[in-house]
Amino acid sequence: MTDTPVPLKRTPLRDVHAAAGAKMVPFGGWDMPVQYTGIIEEHRCVRSAVGLFDISHMGEFEVRGPGALAAVQTLTTNDASTLAIGQVQYSLLCYPEGGIVDDLTLYRLAEDHYMLTVNASNIDKDWAWVTEGGRGGGWTNVSAETGLLAVQGPKAEALVQRLADRDVTRVLYYQFAQGAVAGVPCLISRTGYTGEDGFELYAPAAQLETLWHALMGAGKGDGIQPIGLGARDTLRLEMKFALYGNDIDETTNPLEAGLGWVVKPAKGEFIGRAAIEAMRAAGVTRKLVGFEMAERAVARHGYRLLKAGDPVGVVTSGSFSPSLERCIGMGYVRADLAPVGAELDVDIRGQAHRARVAKTPFVPSHAKKT
């Protein structure tokens, strides 16, 4: 029996990317641009100027009605009751055993109205999970009609402000405003996954191309470039931001992943709470750390971490860091080897290459927090 190939899903900008010379690759079931001019150049553009990302492949679910907050509180680990309208929260969906279903951002849109932004590769799984019988709330999957662009970099604020119909400089990190950008109705969210200041702009899929071209045009003098998934990955790795499927998944729990800060047991019952509390009491046996290689050797997902030749962990992400011009990575190691400075080896094609647990983020964040 042969598998029937499933056609890749396309964002509203798929043809725009191809016309711009992007190299397209399959990613989580989507046909996505991995790079336009080159990962290193695009990475540096975001760190030094401004870059534009199509991240429409990500999923958006809305929940509204009198049961909305209770539904969100049951499903997610962070305390959604602390969110005011106009605020965003990073949070997790967990299984009862404490493994991670997905990581997400939660938006409080109105009194009884929330939006969850989830990973592209997890949309179907997450939708089944949040709507499973008896969870409460009225859910809508708006992924298909919602486009999403990220504008990231030190020149992002000024660029978005030039096109926006309101003062976006007052929107601080993890806050959002509703407004128009280049005449397109947007949810203007001061979030992103690069460590730079910037915005994520949610807009109707049908008007996304208008928004894309307006930003590319208005950002010309700033040196704006379209940025592919390759640089998105190196940018988030320099911040030690976890990527679902690489660094976190159903076999990892929030405490060992360093995401204990988004688990709030004091808020009351939620799925996974008991298991995570038990783990917290017992202490975790492994931790997700960042490490730097001593030489130019790239540690990749799945490579073994060693201590004196013995396996002590596994690499979950690794790359050359364009900002540091060194090779960096993330991985789970035995808890006693997690402190900064601990010496490890990475097994790269049968040879041990020296690495050292590093302080993270690897580069400072420039998110506008005040």
The piece of 83-91, 110-118, 128-136, 315-323 that touches other proteins (CB under 8 A) is 315-323
Residues numbered 40 to 59 that lie near other proteins (CB under 8 A) are 40
- In the chain, the amino acid numbered 343 is E
CA-based angle 323:329:330, to the nearest 5? 130
* 369 is an interface residue for other proteins by CB under 8 A: no
Residues numbered 217 to 256 that lie near other proteins (CB under 8 A) are 230, 233-234
Q: Which of 361, 369, 330 is nearest to 239 (CA)?
A: 361
Strand, coil or helix: 192: coil
DSSP letters, 163-177, are HBSS-GGG--TTBEE
The piece of 106-114, 171-179, 297-305, 333-341 that touches other proteins (CB under 8 A) is 297-305
User: Any residues with CB less than 8 A from the CB of 12 and at least 6 apart, and which?
Assistant: 56, 147, 205, 206, 208, 209
Least distance between other proteins and beta carbon 25 (Å): 9
* 302 is an interface residue for other proteins by CB under 8 A: no
Residues numbered 10 to 39 that lie near other proteins (CB under 8 A) are 23, 34-35, 38-39
Q: Would you say 193 or 320 has its CB closer to other proteins?
A: 320
Q: Which two tokens stand for residue 13?
A: 């900008």
* 300 is an interface residue for other proteins by CB under 8 A: yes
Least distance between other proteins and beta carbon 87 (Å): 35
Site string for other proteins, 333-352 (x = CB under 8 A): ----------------x---
Residue 187 vs residues 94, 204, 224: alpha-carbon distances, Å: 27, 10, 21
Would you say 139 and 112 are in contact if contact means Cβ atoms under 8 Å apart? no
* 296 is an interface residue for other proteins by CB under 8 A: yes
Count the residues of the shown chain that bind other proteins, applying the rule CB under 8 A.
18
Q: What are phi and psi of 317, to 5 degrees?
A: -150, 145
Residues that bind other proteins (CB under 8 A): 23, 34-35, 38-40, 230, 233-234, 296-298, 300, 319-320, 322, 327, 349
